[in-house]
Amino acid sequence: MSDSSLGRVPFIVLRHMRTPIIVLICVYAVAMLGMVLVPGLPDANGETAYMSFFHAFYFLAYTATTTGFGELPTPFSNAQRVWAIVCLYISVVTWLYAVGKIISLLRNPHLQSAFAEEKFIRAVSKKSNDYYLVCGFGDTGSLLLRGMTDAGLSAVVIDEDYERIKALDLRDYPTKVLGLCADATVPRYLIDAGIERSKCVGVLILSNDEEANLKVAVSARILRPDIKIICRSSSSENEGEILAVGGDTHVVDPFRVFASYLSMMIYNPTIQTLNEWMSGTPGAVLDRNICPLKGGKWILCGHGRMGSIVYQKLSAKGIDIVVVEPEAKNIEAIVDHAVLGRANVENLKKAGLEECVGLIAGTHNDTFNLSMIHQANEVNPALFSIVRQNRHTNEVLFKKANVDFIMQPSLVIARMVLFSLMAPLLRAFFNHLRQVYESDPVKLADITNRLEERVGGASPMIKTYVISQKKMPAVQRKLDRKMAISLGDIYRDPSNREDFLRAVPLVHKRGKVIKVLPLDELVLMPNDELLFCMRPSQKVLFEANVSNKNTLDYLLTGVEPARGSFFRWLEQKEPGLKQ
């Protein structure tokens, strides 16, 4: 816990309560002094009695609680009773004033923020598992957090929006997600979130503010030079500055990712189908291409920051594309392939709506995109429509609309970041697929068929495993004893070792050497990284194969090992029993 956060609560309390405390002290001091000075009744010797300071404080203390023990230690004189009446009324008014200040203090947003911050710091300091620090909890952060928690990854969130942080407690995440309402560009909040702890293994910066993202990236690199940073940026200048912080830093450009997805959908539909299937997109299956239209004219509505990247990507693939854009300055470089004006029916017809095969509604306005697609479908019902959904809250409208494919940039980015955390080797797999597609599309079909046959279904699980004592203890022990284990051995079916689990090894990495779709005969070594695609139901069986010594022994030898101490002793005495 930082020193600044430790002192905030006392400082706020003392500053807010300074005046009522001083007033209370002064009122009680004057009241006690009066009680001591006012003469009481004569004592047994006939001398005037005076109250001591202790008795005066005692009298004022119990009357303040409305208990009323009477006149102590002796009956009061009339003068003392008059002064007591004055003291009672003044103290009651003073206490009402002080209590009012206490109530307003408890409602003070700064005090509530300080309490929340200290509670957050204590909770983070108690986390015993690795976690990622997520800066920005908008649509992208929310979708990413859902995927991370479902995959068993832990996260801590910082966001300036109080309502979003408050909503964390209402989400049905598998594990509790800690959140702090704060500005992540302030370094002390990053420290509060535990960025300096070894348990914090990465910082994910996902806000829409380019300058804020850069500030957080620089602060994170200074506070933790070795930490992994993944930052969102849609500006090439800002991207260069972020990458300049050095270390393990990655930049995700939402527009470039969006353009790459569109390009893949049109030019490499099989690869995009694989991508959607591995991402767990509802309804995604391997036996259907998302967009079976490679040839023909396409219309792109919008040529801003995102549209310009989409146009470049598609044009580079040789796709005939016409842009409809209302701003003349945005289409100065592509006048021959553009129509100036809003994307209404008239301008869409000028762009060739009636004979085009596909339309991309890619503006930043969801309502305009939906309206555009609706009008275009009435003119060309056979049109393949791709629409950009900017806000996740509009999901219901987009699902009801007559749209062939919905591209949600926040969801695309969330999936990309999640895959980079869970399966960084997946990039090598898709790079290999693109090369295969360019050289021999038939081989790409063979890969798809293998995944369909061996894994199949919807929403497969993609996970990276490292051969180590922690992740694969049984395999590691065998390798330490110089025993040979092949890749095919570890994902055999324990119920029938002649068969395999519903899993496919996608990538093998040893040092800097990466092999895509490695053969089952590959001999494993310590610290090898393996990327598997499997049915979620097979995860328990696979992890038992690589963690349980007896299970692995059976897969390697075909002999069921003795499990009890007596039978293991008997095997040692009678070696023939092993046969």
pLDDT tens, residue by residue, 167-185: 888 888 888 899 999 999 9
Name, in order, each residue with C-beta under 8 angstroms of 378's C-beta and a sequence gap of 6 or more.
none
Q: Considering only CA atoms, which of 126, 175, 167 is closest in space to residue 148?
A: 175
Cα 325 from Cα 362, distance rounded (Å): 11
Write the DSSP assignment of 100-132 as a string of letters. Answer: HHHHHHHT-HHHHHHHHHHHHHHHHHT--S-EE
Q: Which of 61-70, 95-104, 303-312, 410-419 has the highest mean pLDDT?
A: 95-104
More reliable by pLDDT, 380 or 260: 380
- Burial code of 161-184, b = ≥16 C-beta within 10 A, e = fewer? eeebbeebeeeeeeeebbbbbbeb
Q: What digits encode the pLDDT tens for the residues 19-42?
A: 999 999 999 999 999 999 999 888
User: Which residues, in sequence order, are bridge partners of residue 230?
Assistant: 204, 250
SS3 state at 547:
helix
pLDDT band at 411 (very low <50, low <70, confident <90, very high): confident
Domains and CATH numbers, the chain: 3-106 (1.10.287.70), 127-252 (3.40.50.720), 256-422 (3.40.50.720), 454-573 (3.30.70.1450)
| Cβ-Cβ contacts under 8 Å for 413 (sequence gap 6 or more) | 140, 144, 206, 232, 252, 254, 257
pLDDT band at 293; cut points 50, 70, 90: low
DSSP β-bridge partners for residue 294: none
282-289 long-range contacts (CB < 8 A, ≥24 apart) are 282/458, 283/458, 284/458, 285/458, 286/448, 286/451, 286/452, 286/456, 287/452
Q: What is the per-residue pLDDT across 472-510, written as a single tens digit (0 to 9) for each?
A: 999 999 999 999 999 999 999 998 889 999 999 999 999
Can you read off the two tokens belonging to residue 143? 């979708």
**Under 8 Å between Cβ of 317 and 263:** yes
Instruction: Say which residue, 345 or 577, is predicted with more confidence.
Output: 345
pLDDT (0 to 100) of residue 579 = 43
Distance in Å from the first CA to the final CA of the chain: 62
pLDDT at residue 204, as a whole number: 95
Of 215-219, 311-315, 475-479, the range with the lowest mean pLDDT is 311-315
- Residue 460 has a CB neighbour count (10 Å cut-off) of 23
- pLDDT at res. 324: 92
Closest CA to 175 of 158, 202, 156: 156
* Residue of 336 and 563 predicted with greater confidence: 336
| Stronger pLDDT, 564 or 402, i.e. the higher one | 402
Q: What percent of the chain has pLDDT over 70?
A: 94
If you average pLDDT over each of 372-381, 455-464, 527-536, which comes out highest?
Answer: 527-536
Q: What is the pTM of this model?
A: 0.75
Residue 86 has pLDDT above 50, yes or no: yes
DSSP 326: S
Q: Which pLDDT score, from 0 to 100, does residue 565 have?
A: 61
Q: Which residues are CB-neighbours of 192 under 8 A, at least 6 positions away? A: 1, 2, 5, 117, 120, 121, 124, 180, 182
Instruction: Write the burial class of residue 95 (CB in 10 Å: 0-12 exposed, 13-18 middle, 19+ buried).
Output: middle
pLDDT at 578 (0 to 100): 47
Residue 343, pLDDT > 60, answer yes
pLDDT given at position 280: 77
Stretch among 14-23, 251-260, 325-334, 485-494 having the lowest mean pLDDT: 251-260
Report the pLDDT value the prediction gives residue 419, as an integer from 0 to 100: 86
pLDDT band at 150, cuts 50/70/90?
A: confident
Residue 563 in this model has a pLDDT that exceeds 80: no
CA distance 49 to 38: 9
Rounded to the nearest 10 degrees, what angle do helices 109-125 and 3-37 cross at? Answer: 130
Predicted confidence at residue 416, as pLDDT, reads 86
Determine the average pLDDT of the residues in 272-285.
79
Question: Does 208 score more than 90 pLDDT?
Answer: no
Span of 26-30, 428-432, 530-534 with lowest mean pLDDT:
428-432
Q: Which of the two residues, 573 and 400, has the higher pLDDT score?
A: 400
Euclidean distance between CA atoms 425 and 441, whole angstroms: 22
pLDDT averaged over every residue in the chain: 86
pLDDT for residue 317: 79
Q: What is the pLDDT of residue 225?
A: 93
Weakest mean pLDDT among 33-42, 357-366, 567-576: 567-576
Higher per-residue confidence, 562 vs 391: 391
* More confident: 437 or 478: 478
Strand partners, 409: none
If you average pLDDT over residues 283-298, what whole number do you get? 68
> What pLDDT score does 515 carry?
94
Q: What mean pLDDT is predicted for residues 80-104?
A: 91
